[in-house]
Amino acid sequence: MQNFIFSNPTKIVFGEGQIKELANLVPANARVLVTYGGGSIKKNGVYNQVVQALEGKTWFEFGGIEPNPHYETLMKAVELVKKEKIDFLLPVGGGSVIDGTKLIAAAVDFDGEPWDIMAKNQAFHSALPIGCVLTLPATGTESNGNSVITRASTQEKLAFGSPLVYPRFAILDPTTTYSLPPRQIANGVVDAFVHIMEQYLTYPVDAKVQDRFAEGLLMTLIEEGPRALKEPTNYQVRANVMWAATMALNGLIGVGVPQDWATHMIGHELTAMHGLDHAQTLSVVLPAVMQHQRAKKHGKLVQYGRRVWGLMQSNEEELIDAAIAATRQFFEQMGNPTTLSGYGVGRESIPKLVDMLVKHDLLALGEHGVITPEASREILELAA
Ligand code: NZQ
Ligand code: ZN
């Protein structure tokens, strides 16, 4: 196991009816900005619960944050924050709303063009405090310091991370997820699954705690993901999916182990260029990365196949084939095709996608840094 420091400051408030806790969690004298997306929270009753819980507090609202939140939209929210002297941000929604609000928090006092926080890795030294209400278990953003922002005008999708934008609290009420359409249920389960794989499927470092946690979370998603599609109002199923997605990317399973993230980096270019949902890109890229990197990932692929899928083949190459096939079949069972052509993206896009990876300096991806642009091209060819 490698050395590490672990700290996760987000207070998790989990369970049915917990939105009312906002009354206690949001500081009494705060000037609050409630941010949200395209309106799902107004249809499923979450908005009303938030409004009730904020009674007596000073609050404003900013709606219309898109999936893959647009930089351009978020900069409008920054103006509102400055005008109304907002000092607390309360995103209510999925990963896009929470990620977008993290950028708002960082941009308010940023000296310069906030896009450079992502594009040039520029540091910021303060951020407004954030508390959140999560309605889509997927990204883990509710208790991590990461954010992914899209600039619509240039079709770029870039990430930043900072301890300053960890939410102070996250309310996770599984009943808020009952209204998710099947596509978003699938996306959430696949995204969480791939977050675990990015931290688990590398090479063994004898990190037994992290490995067993990761395997337990993967098995939970394999069991509960398809059930969430079939039984959308089963509370226990939703609760297990929601907690698994948070645990997948709150830092715990990633400490002390090598991490990959090639699938995510290649996937971001696919979303930026072709508009695929984040998890759709992962469904396409992960099986191809597993295949392309099978020699380097051999030990962990065998462990994954045996422990997570219960595979018994004595020939390890056959076992790896079966593990990759099982992963692919799981994504397809959730409803996500696992090839580029399944989303109408042809091979002719591959050189442009590779050019974008080069433009974004993503020249040495993966836990060994060996996924060069040429290797990314081969991976995309395998995914075609
Ligand atoms: O906008 P509204 O109307 O709210 O509708 C949303 C949106 O259309 C809808 N939705 C959310 N909760 C719902 C609901 N519909 C019905 N009932 C509910 N309870 O779902 C749609 C998708 O929402 P979005 O927030 O975009 O999805 P998700 O949570 O999957 O977030 C995706 C974004 O997160 C980034 C992705 O790149 C993408 O931009 N990621 C962030 C990460 C992080 N911060 O750590 C890591 C991830 O790897 C990922 O990259
Ligand atoms: Zn993801």
Per-residue model confidence (pLDDT) at position 171: 98
Segment 281-303 shows an average pLDDT of 98
Ligand 1 pocket check for 190: Cβ under 6 Å: no
Per-residue model confidence (pLDDT) at position 124: 97
Ligand 1 pocket check for 101: Cβ under 6 Å: no
Q: How many whole angstroms from its chain centre is CA 204?
A: 24
Per-residue model confidence (pLDDT) at position 206: 98
Per-residue model confidence (pLDDT) at position 177: 98
Domain regions of the chain by residue span: 11-176, 185-383
Say whether pTM exceeds 0.85: yes
Give ∠ CA 245-248-254 in degrees, rounded to 5: 170
Ligand nearest to the Cα of 193, by number:
2
Q: Which ligand 1 atom is nearest residue 44's CA? A: 17
Per-residue model confidence (pLDDT) at position 180: 98
Residue nearest ligand 1's atom 8 by CA: 67
Over the stretch 201-232, which tens digit does the pLDDT of each residue have?
999 999 999 999 999 999 999 999 999 999 99
For residue 181, name the pLDDT band (cuts at 50, 70, 90): very high
Q: How many Å lie between the centroid of ligand 1 and the Cα of residue 32?
A: 22
Three-class HEC string of the chain: CCCCCCCCCCEEEECCCHHHHHHHHCCCCCEEEEECCCCHHHHCCHHHHHHHHCCCCEEEEECCCCCCCEHHHHHHHHHHHHHHCCCEEEEEECHHHHHHHHHHHHHCCCCCCCHHHHHCCCCCCCCCCEEEEECCCCCCHHHCCEEEEEEHHHCEEEEEECHHHCCCEEEECHHHHCCCCHHHHHHHHHHHHHHHHHHHCCCCCCCHHHHHHHHHHHHHHHHHHHHHHHCCCCHHHHHHHHHHHHHHCCCHHHCCCCCCCHHHHHHHHHHHHHCCCHHHHHHHHHHHHHHHCCCCCHHHHHHHHHHHHCCCCCCHHHHHHHHHHHHHHHHHHHCCCCCCHHHCCCHHHHHHHHHHHHHCCCCCECCCCCECHHHHHHHHHHHC
Over the stretch 252-266, which tens digit does the pLDDT of each residue have?
999 999 999 999 999
Segment 136-145 shows an average pLDDT of 98
For residue 142, name the pLDDT band (cuts at 50, 70, 90): very high
Over the stretch 55-99, which tens digit does the pLDDT of each residue have?
999 999 999 999 999 999 999 999 999 999 999 999 999 999 999
Compute the distance between CA of residue 226 and CA of residue 193 in angstroms, rounded to an integer: 13
Percent of the chain whose pLDDT exceeds 90: 100
Per-residue model confidence (pLDDT) at position 100: 98
Ligand 1 pocket check for 281: Cβ under 6 Å: no
Compute the distance between CA of residue 121 and CA of residue 116 in angstroms, rounded to an integer: 6
Q: Which ligand 1 atom is nearest residue 264's CA? A: 48
Per-residue model confidence (pLDDT) at position 318: 98
What is the assigned CATH class of domain 11-176?
Answer: alpha beta
Per-residue model confidence (pLDDT) at position 43: 98
Over the stretch 317-345, which tens digit does the pLDDT of each residue have?
999 999 999 999 999 999 999 999 999 99
Per-residue model confidence (pLDDT) at position 211: 98
**Average pLDDT across the chain, whole number:** 98
For residue 289, name the pLDDT band (cuts at 50, 70, 90): very high
Q: How many Å lie between the centroid of ligand 1 and the Cα of residue 275?
A: 14
For residue 108, name the pLDDT band (cuts at 50, 70, 90): very high
Residue nearest ligand 1's atom 29 by CA: 95
Q: Which ligand 1 atom is nearest residue 187's CA? A: 30
For residue 369, name the pLDDT band (cuts at 50, 70, 90): very high
Tell which one of 19, 165, 261, 278 to mutate to probe ligand 1, the residue whose CB is within 8 A of the most ligand atoms: 278
Tell which one of 136, 261, 282 to mutate to probe ligand 1, the residue whose CB is within 8 A of the most ligand atoms: 136
Per-residue model confidence (pLDDT) at position 278: 96
Over the stretch 188-208, which tens digit does the pLDDT of each residue have?
999 999 999 999 999 999 999
For residue 250, name the pLDDT band (cuts at 50, 70, 90): very high
Over the stretch 36-57, which tens digit does the pLDDT of each residue have?
999 999 999 999 999 999 999 9
CATH code at 185-383: 1.20.1090.10
Residue nearest ligand 1's atom 11 by CA: 94
Q: Matching CATH topology for 11-176 and 185-383?
A: no
